[in-house]
Structure 1
Amino acid sequence: MKKLKATLRQLFTLALGANVLMIGGLTFGPSGSPPALAQAASPVDAPLPANAPYASEINAFQEADKKRMPPTGAVLFMGSSSIRMWTTLAQDFPEIPVINRGFGGSFIHDSTRYADRIAIPYKPKIIVLCAGTNDLAYGNETPQQVFQDYKDFVAKIHAALPETRIVYLAINPTVARWKQEPKNLEVNFLIERFSVETNSQAEKLSFIDPHSQLLTADDQPQLRLLRADGLHFNSEGYKVWAAIVKPRIMALAAIDGVERLDAPKAAPTPQ
């Protein structure tokens, strides 16, 4: 035992002389602190497993971000296929930075689930959400449940980005889901009322309803704006939708200080 203690004492002395100490498998240097360990991938940085909902879409977005991260302070469009298929989004809003993170078939709670991956990292000034119709059609949710999902989305975003404005684009009228129209209108009503009652300016909530302008004179969906499936906008539909939505979004972008891409550049200071 005495020999063991002497040996340990000798090793300890040698370690101090070399300014190195091993404790519990960690090497401590002169500062008394262990060296920096390699950082493990953050859970939101690691790719989603293949069996996760919308894994391919979300992983593709994050891979694109690694190659070129979108600018902060932009206007982020999220939601289901109406956003995903808006391929002319940047052309329709050339004056401001926009990001498209729509993924087809998604529910509102899917945007909430993946907000840490495809929303919050961008620190957008405005998030435009267009979702809810699939929740009613495929999720068998009631309008009240869809409304609660929207409030959960708002809570998730504002917990991380309290100054970010959230704009809800009302569910559009379509031929394919015309029987669902009363539920669509109820969701639109609940979210519009919530946006107003919550004090939209202070709470950064807004509501845009192009619904009535997408109907015919006898209050039917305009077939000329829809693809053959009677559900999704065709190119003409997106032109009409953009023309309705853009003035409101541009006005909010001005209020919230979204940087304009068409602003004149300051002249260089003479040397």
Structure 2
Amino acid sequence: MKYIQRFFVCFLCLQCLSFTGLAQDTPPFFSEIEAFKKQDIVNRPPNNAILFVGSSSFRMWTNVQEYFPGYSIINRGFGGSSLPDAIRYASDIIIPYKPRQVVVYCGENDFTADGVNAEIVFNRFTTLFEIIRKDLPKAHILFVSIKPSPSRLKYLPEMVKANAMIKHYLNDNRKTGYVDVYSKMLLADGTPMPDIFKADKLHINEAGYAIWQKAIKPHLKK
């Protein structure tokens, strides 16, 4: 009986260790991506739509379809993601939809990690770009510039550099576009407009999204 009890205890310990290992190995935002997949099974998005993908600025734009009537929009913004996250999940939430256009807002959160500068963000973006271009050669790729958040003023010089590098890169590639929202969100003195951001000074409110809508719409593909 004692041997059975010991065996049972050992078995439970191994199970706990196994589950702990799985939890530690689970990549960031895994549950959100799985939720997208389950949602797609229930209501499959159409092919040849416009895919918005990136970080929380897109994730929180829950009524984005209302801003662009006449266009078929799929919103796959997730968490507080950075470019490595978009790269990790490209085969899950970009490629399968076969969109005619991919609109990317990502890279801002990257700067909050130690040692990340404009060149690193640029290289991460080009990696994502190449993945999309390889698997979706006909898709138009549109990058929305990194925005000037009041809570991240210390990163703005590097963000400006990254925006410029990405814009130049896209100019040298076919079926691409660049949306400058950065300059449209500044006051005359060059500081971010305070009234277009929420209380956290990071995420934009309806007034901010109105600026984005006006800047993005001319670039969308019918």
- Sort the TM-score into its range (normalised by shorter chain): 0.7 to 0.9
* Distance verdict in 2 for CA 1:83–1:140, change over 3 Å: farther
Pairs within 5 Å for 1:20-169: 51-138=26-113, 140-169=115-144
User: Partner of 1:220 in structure 2?
Assistant: 191
* Distance verdict in 2 for CA 1:79–1:89, change over 3 Å: same
Tell me the CA shift for residue 141 of structure 1.
1.5
The answer to whether structure 1 residue 197 and structure 2 residue 172 are counterparts is yes
User: Partner of 1:26 in structure 2?
Assistant: none
* TM-score normalized with structure 2 length: 0.86
Distance in 1, matches of 2:206 and 2:29, equals: 26
Which one-letter code corresponds to 2:153 in the other structure? W
User: Partner of 1:242 in structure 2?
Assistant: 213
Distance in 2, matches of 1:139 and 1:70, equals: 37
Distance in 2, matches of 1:122 and 1:169, equals: 20
The answer to whether structure 1 residue 178 and structure 2 residue 153 are counterparts is yes
Tell me the CA shift for residue 174 of structure 1.
1.2
Q: Percent identity?
A: 38
Tell me the CA shift for residue 140 of structure 1.
3.4
Tell me the CA shift for residue 139 of structure 1.
5.4
Distance in 2, matches of 1:127 and 1:121, equals: 12
Larger radius of gyration: 1
Tell me the CA shift for residue 55 of structure 1.
0.9
Which one-letter code corresponds to 1:194 in the other structure? Y
* Distance verdict in 2 for CA 1:139–1:152, change over 3 Å: farther
The 3-state SS of whatever aligns with 1:177 is helix
**Which of 216, 233, 240 is residue 204 of structure 2 equivalent to?**
233
**Which consecutive residues of structure 2, in runs of 5 or more, have no partner in the other structure?**
1-21
Distance in 2, matches of 1:241 and 1:207, equals: 12
* Distance verdict in 2 for CA 1:103–1:139, change over 3 Å: farther
Tell me the CA shift for residue 105 of structure 1.
1.3
Question: How big is each residue's C-alpha offset from its partner over 1:184-212, in whole Å with a ceiling of 9 and x where there is no partner?
Answer: 100000000001123xxxx2221111211
Which one-letter code corresponds to 1:97 in the other structure? S
Which one-letter code corresponds to 2:200 in the other structure? D
* Distance verdict in 2 for CA 1:140–1:212, change over 3 Å: same
The answer to whether structure 1 residue 206 and structure 2 residue 181 are counterparts is no
The 3-state SS of whatever aligns with 2:142 is strand
CA RMSD of aligned residues (A): 1.3
* Distance verdict in 2 for CA 1:139–1:121, change over 3 Å: farther
* TM-score normalized with structure 1 length: 0.71
Distance in 2, matches of 1:135 and 1:97, equals: 29
Which one-letter code corresponds to 2:190 in the other structure? D
The 3-state SS of whatever aligns with 2:150 is coil
Structure whose residues are more often helix by fraction? 2
**Which consecutive residues of structure 1, in runs of 5 or more, have no partner in the other structure?**
1-48, 259-271
